[in-house]
Amino acid sequence: MIKFQQSISIVVLYVFISCTSSPNISTQSKNNTVGESSINKISILTYSEDGLSATITIPKGLNSIEQTLHQLLKKDNSQVIDQYLDGVIDKSIASEMKEAIINSLPEGALEFRINNFSSKPTSNILYLELDKNQIEETVFNIFKKYSSSESIPILPLFSVSTNPPTLNELKNVTLLIPCLDTKVPDQQLLLPNAPRAYRNGTHRGIDFYVNWGSSVRAVADGVIIRADHNYQEMSADFRLDLLNDTKILGRTPSDVFEHLLLGQAIYIDHGFDLVSGYRVVTIYAHLSHIRSDIQIGTIVKRGQEIGKSGNSGTKDSTLKKKTGAHLHWEMILQNKDGEYYLGQGEEYDFLYPFLKNLFVDK
C-alpha cells in the first residue's frame, strides 16, 4: 500500500468541502474511475494513462470522500514502473530490475502528492502526481547499470587479489551441465560479472532457468561440504530489510549473500585435481529440495543427482510463489593468493564462448 500525504490533503480537503457549497448534482463515473456516493453526489478519482498522475473531482456540498481516499491509498503505485520495462524480453530480468528500481527510489517517490487544485462552480478538483522526475531518473540509472558490466565495481563475496585465473588456464576443463535439457544462457545478465543492482553487488555465477523441481546434478566428482537440509525461508519483509542494508553499505555483505540470498544450497569440494593449481568448490543455489543421502562428507560422482531446482532465497519464494525457478551455479577457485569466481572480470565476448564449451551433456 502506498501512503498518501495526509497532512497536506486534510487541510486542502477541509477548504474544499467545508468552505464551499452548491446545489446537489449527479456525476457519472468514467472508465478507470472509482467513486463514493452521497445521496446523488459522488467524488470521482481518475488516473492518467501512465498512472503517474490523478485527479479527484469533488462535488461541492459533498461531506465525505473517505471511500475515494481509501481507493487511492490501496493502489499499488509501483505498477507504473512496468511501462518502462516493456522492452526487456527476459521477464525474470525485468522482475529483478523492477525490484532494484523500487529499492533505489527515495522515500515517497511512489506516494501521490498534491500538485494543484482548482475550484469550479459545481465542484473542486484536486490534482495529484507521483515524483515522475525521480522515478525516471532512477529507472535510467538502473538501466545504465544493467547495460554495462563495468558500470558498477566488482564486489565478490571473497577477498581476492587482482589476478584471477585466466580462461586460458581453464581451457582443458570439462564439466557436466548441472541440469538436463538446458544450456548455458547467452544473456549477459545471467552470466558472471553481471550487475545485481537490487542487492548492490555482482553476479558470480550462471543462472540456468529450468522448471521448478528439475533434477540438479554434480558437475564433477567431489565431496559435499554444505547441504542445507533444514533451510527455512525468510519473510518478505525481512528480505527487504536485508536489501536495505546492502543499499546502505553499497555492497552485498558476505553473510547476507551466502546464508540468505542463496537460499537452500549445496557446496561441493572438488579438491585440487579439477583445475591445476587451484582448489575448486561449486555452488548449487535456490534449491527446492536436497536428497536425503546428500550429507556433509558424502562423496558424489559426476552426474549424480543431488537435489531439485527451485527459487528459495528469492523475492518470489518469500511471497510463497513458485515463479522464477532457476539454478544459480557458481565455481569458486582458490589458491595461496586468494579466492575467485569463474570468469571473474572477463569480457562477455570471451566469457560466453568459453562457458558454452566448458559444459557437456554427458
Q: What is the pLDDT of residue 292?
A: 97
- The residue ranges of every structural domain in the chain are 6-139, 151-360
pLDDT at 22: 38
Q: What is the pLDDT of residue 253?
A: 87
Quote the pLDDT of residue 88: 67
Q: Which three cell numbers stand for residue 190?
A: 545471467
309/263 Cα distance (integer angstroms): 11
Q: What is the pLDDT of residue 227?
A: 98
CATH topology of domain 151-360: Glucose Permease (Domain IIA) (2.70.70)
How far apart are alpha carbons 37 and 116 in whole angstroms? 24
The pLDDT value given to residue 337? 83
Angstrom distance (rounded) from CA 121 to CA 118 = 10
337 and 155 Cβ atoms separated by less than 8 Å: no
E strand spans, the chain: 33-38, 41-47, 53-59, 113-119, 123-129, 175-176, 195-196, 201-202, 206-208, 215-217, 222-227, 264-275, 278-290, 299-300, 305-309, 327-335, 338-341, 359-360
What pTM, to 2 d.p., does this model score?
0.63
CA 141 to chain centre: 15
Max Cα distance, the chain (Å): 89
Q: Flag residues of the chain having pLDDT under 70.
A: 1-40, 63-64, 87-90, 145-162
Work out whether strand 222-227 and strand 264-275 pair parallel, antiparallel, or are unpaired.
antiparallel
